[in-house]
Amino acid sequence: MIKTNALRLLDKKKIEYNVFETELDETHTAGEVAENIGKSQDVVYKTLVTISKSNNYYVFVLPANKELDLKKCAKAVGEKSVEMLKSKLLLETTGYVHGGCSPFNMKKFFKTTFYIDCKNHDKILVNAGKIGMMVELKVSDIEKVIRVQFADICAD
């Protein structure tokens, strides 16, 4: 198995995890990835990056079956508004490509917010830093890896 930057960070922090791989490419949705690896869409999380008018970047992590509410996201991070970062800027900003963006070990640390409902699960899966690779870890371990907050960031 190829070790990504995200997995190297989990190893360094001595976090237990399981890796799931699929042959799907970046054109597939997080929901399709969940189905392909045999996991529920409410425990497979996608990582989305936004930018504010003040040029601050924010990372939001939410279930495959949910959509971001950008107004809730802005409120969660104390901004007037945020918008999705254009895909072409993702690699230079985070070090990850579209479809392979992990909330762990980006080029720089960005304020990261996980959907509050993830606390209802023992484990969730997030991208491991490579298209088609997901990492499953305990929700309680997320705060051992990165500084994170939890908030209602999803559309109703």
DSSP string computed for 29-78: -HHHHHHHHT--TTTBEEEEEEEETTS-EEEEEEETT--B-HHHHHHHHT
Cα 72-94-80 angle, rounded to 5 deg: 25
The mean pLDDT value of the chain amounts to: 95
3-class state of residue 151 by DSSP? strand
Beta bridge partners of residue 69, listed in sequence order? none
> d(Cα 30, Cα 141) in Å, to the nearest integer?
22
Residue 84 has what pLDDT?
97
Q: How many CB atoms lie within 10 A of CB 143?
A: 12
Judged on CB neighbours under 10 Å (0-12, 13-18, 19+), 97 is: middle
Q: What is the pLDDT of residues 94-146, one digit of tens each?
A: 999 999 999 999 999 999 999 999 999 999 999 999 999 999 999 999 999 99
Count helices and strands in the chain by DSSP H and E runs = 5, 8
pTM of the predicted protein model: 0.95
